[in-house]
Amino acid sequence: MPVFTPAATPTPAPGFTVAYLGITNCAPQYAFRFSITNTGGVTWESIRIVATDNTTATSTTHILDSFRSYNGCVLEMEQSDLMPGESGNVANVNPGQFNYDPSGHSITATFTLCTANGLGGTCLSQTINFTP
């Protein structure tokens, strides 16, 4: 009698979405807050955010082995990783903040998430544009 073997379920490809939440400041530093949702089948372990103020041609880079959000000067949340289906907030702070108020400026932010610490493993990038 034949035995039916179901096909293996493929692992979902890596993926994430990013949404701009707003600007935050801890005088005299300014940063942006974002929500990131892991839409794929891998766990994200590290992040890089390159934020470019297109109005002043100024760029900052935030690299961290966790997902950390600030509201003003207060650490709001820190997650060691983003598991499949999980969301978390991040801010481009320590390092990566601006030393001036970029409100009203055209901003481009490129997010790179990786499956290992130190931006190692499999990485995926996504770019968004916004005006705080």
Amino acid at 42: V
Q: What pLDDT does residue 105 have?
A: 99
CA distance 67 to 94: 12
Confidence of residue 7 (pLDDT cuts 50, 70, 90): low
Domains, the chain, ranges and CATH?
A: 16-130 (2.60.40)
Average confidence (pLDDT) over 64-82: 96
Residues 27-36 pLDDT 10s: 999 999 999 9
- What is the chain's mean pLDDT, rounded? 94
- Rounded to 5°, the CA angle 121-21-73 comes to 90
Q: How confident is the model at residue 12 (pLDDT cuts 50, 70, 90)?
A: confident
pLDDT band at 13 (very low <50, low <70, confident <90, very high): confident
pLDDT at position 5, please?
66
At residue 106, does pLDDT exceed 90?
Answer: yes
Distance CA 57, CA 118 (A): 27
First to last CA, the chain: 66
Nearest-angstrom CA–CA distance, 85 and 108 = 25
**What's the predicted TM-score (pTM) here?**
0.91
